[in-house]
Amino acid sequence: MPTVSRVAVCGGTHGNELAGIYLVREMLKKRADGTEPVSVVTVMSNPRAAQLCVRYVETDLNRCFTRAALSAPVSETSPYEMIRSQELNALLGPKASAQAVDLLCDLHNTTANTGLCLITYSDRDWICLHICKHLQREMASTPVRYVHFDIPLNEAYSLDSVGKHGFAMEIGPQPHGVVRSVIFSAMQEGVQLMMDWICQFNSGTLFEGGWVDVYTMVKNIDYPRDSETHVITAAVHPNLQDRDFCLLHPGDPMFLCFSGETLRYRGKEALYPFFINEGAYYEKGVALSLARKRRVQIPSVL
């Protein structure tokens, strides 16, 4: 396998997800002295949103990286984030070309109790899978999981799809607009361990094969809503709240209606819920996502 020689670490893709923003600011303070074994470019993806401490200014930047969005004609009157995604694609990509960075790590936070997740579009990218295994081995107090969205590269919409290899490093729970020191430290450690793995890999270290549990997204579930006003009529059930990655069985409580009624999971298959009650997803019509888990064998690499 070729070396991972160019890495990008991006924060502030959503301007109110503060751990990544503060981490990128700290990394930008440390000037590169040319002796680093790996070239790392550190980027504040959405500086205007970060300045205002909002998720986005006009449209969600992390949905602007499909092939269609990246090749759409833009002008001064285009939404800020559409212009910015093309700038980032020129800087770190172009997506799907030989010039793209080898690995793009995009830093995110969620209000859901997800622990640390590496979220990516491939379930057979050995570099991403090995990095996940490395973090799982080395991070004692943070659960680390691999989450897979089965979407072809053209339609992959997030910033991490710009790199030849890439993932979002998502850590929760943290409210938007807040930095919790435990979350910041976990993110700092995650990024450091990723860099350590890359350096070892580049210098020919053998990483043993093994297996990784991969959670592949199956579907989203919206809140129950009033048929006329579309206003939500229930909250995530207390039995489900904060139980990301705990198996949800048919018949388990999912929502507690304001009227007092409990709504239960009606699917036939037990699945793994995640992104349970993410604040930014109310407007996207998502109360939680559901995933299937399977064990993926990974080869040894050097």
Calpha distance 88→155 (Å, rounded): 17
Q: Binding string to another protein for residues 17 to 46, with x set by CB under 8 A, is what?
A: -----x--xx--------------------
Q: Binding string to another protein for residues 179 to 198, with x set by CB under 8 A, is what?
A: xxxx-x--------------
Q: Given the complex with another protein, which of 101 and 112 has the nearer CB atom?
A: 112
Q: Using CB under 8 A, count the residues that bind another protein.
A: 30
Per-residue DSSP letter, 247 = P
**CA-angle at 120, arms to 48 and 9, nearest 5°:** 45
Q: Given the complex with another protein, which of 33 and 228 has the nearer CB atom?
A: 228
261-290 residues in contact with another protein (CB under 8 A) are 277, 279-280, 282-283
249 annotated to a ligand binding site: no
Q: Given the complex with another protein, which of 46 and 277 has the nearer CB atom?
A: 277
The 3-state secondary structure of 200-233 reads HHHCCCCECCEEEEEEEEEEEECCCECCCCCCEC
Terminal CA-CA length for the chain: 7
Location of structure tokens 């990286």: 65
Query: Of 26, 170, 269, 278, which is the active-site residue?
Result: 170
Least CB distance to another protein at residue 31 (A): 15
Calpha distance 3→199 (Å, rounded): 9
Calpha distance 171→187 (Å, rounded): 7
HSE-CB at 28 with a 13 A cutoff on CA atoms is 13
Q: Given the complex with another protein, which of 200 and 241 has the nearer CB atom?
A: 241
Binding site for another protein (CB under 8 A): 22, 25-26, 53-54, 111, 173, 175-182, 184, 231-232, 235-238, 241, 256, 258, 277, 279-280, 282-283
Report the catalytic residues. Answer: 170
